[in-house]
Amino acid sequence: MEDTRNLIDEYKGLTNEQVFDALSKKRASLEIAIENVEHDFNIGTIVRSANSFNVSRVHIIGKKKYNRRGAMCTDKYLEIIHHATIEDFLATQANRELVAIENNTPRARELHEKQFKKDTTLIFGSENNGITPELLEKAHDVRYIESFGSTRSVNVGVAAGIAMYEWTRQNVLSTNFQ
């Protein structure tokens, strides 16, 4: 029977558990945190991108349910941890740089100028209200994605993909090509 899952050829024919285990052997140190994103499809989009970049884990803070359809089953291949509170999430983040991607604060600096540390957790918030002030205060750094059109920001799912790529460019791709 043909394996019709959205997998690269290397993982075709393997069980979901075998794919998870194979990916675990080469995971990036990057982690993703999603705080109270209202639209489940956005969470699914971020989870799908997190799988594409093979991040270590995804933390969902607050809201637990999300649209698994948007994740295109990629949630089966990475660790997703739910935290009821910001404090619960922060307890898992010792020795990690917390970088909030947020454009609605004076602390924010341009993403392209960021030199990411290997052990980074990127934090994303809701489209309407952004990251809560409580969590934003705990972030070590705040960055925004530069915009060149009439809108001041991109969709949070798109922003997550851009930020994950930039971390990967600096911490995975640059080391592979040196």
- Residues 126-170 have pLDDT tens digits of 888 899 999 999 999 999 999 999 988 899 999 999 999 999 999
The whole-number pLDDT of residue 1 equals 82
**70 assigned to some structural domain:** yes
Mind listing the pLDDT tens digit for each residue in 86-127? 999 999 999 999 999 999 899 999 999 999 999 999 999 988
Task: Of 36-45, 55-64, 90-99, give the lowest mean pLDDT range.
Answer: 36-45
Q: What gap in Å lies between CA 78 and CA 152, rounded to an integer?
A: 32
Q: Average pLDDT of the chain? A: 91
Would you say how long the chain is, in residues?
A: 178
CATH number of the structural domain spanning residue 158: 3.40.1280.10
The whole-number pLDDT of residue 14 equals 95
Number of domains observed in the structure of the chain: 1
**52 assigned to some structural domain:** yes
User: Order of strands, edge to edge, in the sheet holding 120-124?
Assistant: 79-83, 57-61, 31-35, 120-124, 97-101, 141-144, 109-110
Q: How many CB atoms lie within 10 A of CB 24?
A: 13
116 secondary structure, DSSP code = -
Note down the domain range covering 93.
Answer: 13-176
Q: How many CB atoms lie within 10 A of CB 62?
A: 18
The whole-number pLDDT of residue 176 equals 60
Contact 153, 39 (CB under 8 A): no
The whole-number pLDDT of residue 63 equals 66
**3 assigned to some structural domain:** no
> In degrees, to the nearest 5, what angle opens at C-alpha 136 toward C-alphas 40 and 124?
25
Split at pLDDT 50, 70, 90, the class of 67 is low
**8 assigned to some structural domain:** no
Q: What gap in Å lies between CA 51 and CA 71, rounded to an integer?
A: 9
**23 assigned to some structural domain:** yes
